[in-house]
Amino acid sequence: MAGNISQSQDFIVVGAGIVGAMTAYRLVSEGYSVLLVDKGPPGGQASRAAAGILSPSAESGPSQPFFELLQRSFLLYPALIQKIEERSHMSVDLNQSGVIQAALDEKEEARLESLYRWQKERINLKWLTPAEIADLEPDMKHARAAIYAPEEMQVHAPKLVQAVIRAGHEERLTSRFGISVQHLIVEDRRVWGVKTSEGQYFAEKAVVLAAGAWNPFLLADLGDRFEIPIKPIKGQVLSLTADIMPMHHIVFARHRYVVPKPDGRFIVGATEDDTGFDDRVKVGGVAALTGALDDFGPRIRHMQWDTAWAGLRPMAPDGLPVLGVWPQWDGLFVAGGHFRNGILLSAVTADLVVDWAQNGTLPPEAFSPQRFKTSSRNDSTP
């Protein structure tokens, strides 16, 4: 098969959301030739719905492997963004706004207190009393307590995707957008490339699947007895505006969040709707988000409507990303299942792919595709 290559790169990355784009950029930065391909525009699904929050404290929970992955990615961001902005000549609005997780009832206060005890030895956190919360965010003076992570940040997610791809093009990244990947090209337990709507492309080293909720459709080409049960979860998000921003920090409360943006927008998110591949904004989702506004104080109700949008975020059953080689196949790396954390985890995912490409180093076992094999098999073949 390798001798018949006519359109060949070292790597083909399928999916131009932030995970695929960042992976492609990092690979070309290391001197590899890379083709990045997507059936739609860059960042057209999960990345479109992202508020751009970079917060290990709010996303990790008491899970050490996942927290370590989030924190490793978070620490990569400042230097990585500097390089991307220099290469792309774009700003991605990196802003150290800090993150507040507010408890509005006794149950949530107990959960946050447990989380704080676990995390405070690992990252810079502060436990806030009601008076201290009011000093930082007067509209949240009704909160019982809060965790404050002053060093955590945000970016403008769509700008980041654009900047990463532009920086990749400066490093001679090849991209094809608006064409669909129809099948993986396979032979002798190896993935050789992809068949697309405009022709075949071949990878000398590997194909990286970063197609989000569409990864399982391509993996089905392998004909194995197990699959990654990733499914799309629709995230609907609102944008509001005001002459005077009611808050200056990212604030979480009752499973919702608000994100004040430097450009004057105020993002409210996000729903988690299990509705298949329907990415349309629905009235019920908008109602759920507007219904949560009172949790963030009185002034938010006086803001102006801007817009609403939605994207499909890929979720595995355990909520963890799926990172690693496909068992018993060569030439295939899966980078998926990032769910709510694609923006934050894109940096470390790209690093893990580069580590594997250069040294054969596999990601932590907790995130391996292999973890689904036993539960998904229909027979007892060893």
Full-model pTM: 0.93
- CA pseudo-torsion sign 109, 110, 113, 118: negative
Residues 307 and 362 in one domain: no
Among 315, 331, 363, residue at a domain's last position: 315
The pLDDT confidence band at residue 328, using thresholds 50, 70 and 90, is confident
Task: Please state, in angstroms and rounded to a whole number, the distance separating the CA atoms of residues 232 and 338.
Answer: 11
pLDDT tens per residue across span 47-81: 888 999 999 999 886 578 999 999 999 999 999 99
Question: From residue 22, how far is each of 143, 245, 268, 376 by CA, in Å?
Answer: 38, 32, 26, 30
Average pLDDT in the chain: 92
> Where does the chain have alpha helices with state H?
18-29, 46-49, 56-59, 64-88, 106-119, 130-136, 157-170, 215-219, 283-291, 342-359, 373-376
* Of the listed ranges 13-17, 106-110, 287-291, 325-329, the one predicted with least confidence: 325-329
Residues 42 and 177 in one domain: yes
Do the domain assignments include residue 64?
no
pLDDT tens per residue across span 271-315: 999 999 999 999 999 999 999 999 999 999 999 999 999 999 999
Do the domain assignments include residue 91?
no
Residues 269 and 305 in one domain: yes
Residues 194 and 284 in one domain: no
Residues 170 and 299 in one domain: no
The confidence score (pLDDT) of residue 62 equals 58
Do the domain assignments include residue 269?
yes
Question: How many helices and strands (H and E) does the chain possess?
Answer: 11, 18
Q: Give the number of domains in the chain.
A: 2
Residues 245 and 175 in one domain: no
The confidence score (pLDDT) of residue 188 equals 93
pLDDT of 193 higher than 90: yes
The pLDDT confidence band at residue 376, using thresholds 50, 70 and 90, is very low
Residues 106 and 221 in one domain: no
> Do residues 165 and 145 lie in contact, with contact meaning Cβ atoms separated by under 8 Å?
no
Do the domain assignments include residue 342?
yes
Do the domain assignments include residue 76?
no
Do the domain assignments include residue 183?
yes
Do the domain assignments include residue 54?
no
Here the CATH number for the domain that contains residue 137 is 3.30.9.10
Q: Which long-range contacts (CB under 8 A, 24 or more apart) does 218-222 make?
A: 218/14, 218/181, 218/183, 218/184, 219/326, 219/334, 221/183, 221/184, 221/186, 222/184, 222/186, 222/191, 222/326, 222/329
Residues 106 and 144 in one domain: yes
Residues 216 and 327 in one domain: yes
Do the domain assignments include residue 53?
no
Residues 250 and 203 in one domain: no
pLDDT tens per residue across span 138-185: 999 999 999 999 999 999 999 999 999 999 999 999 999 999 999 999
Residue 180 lies in domain: 2-48+159-230+318-376
Here the CATH number for the domain that contains residue 31 is 3.50.50.60
The confidence score (pLDDT) of residue 321 equals 96
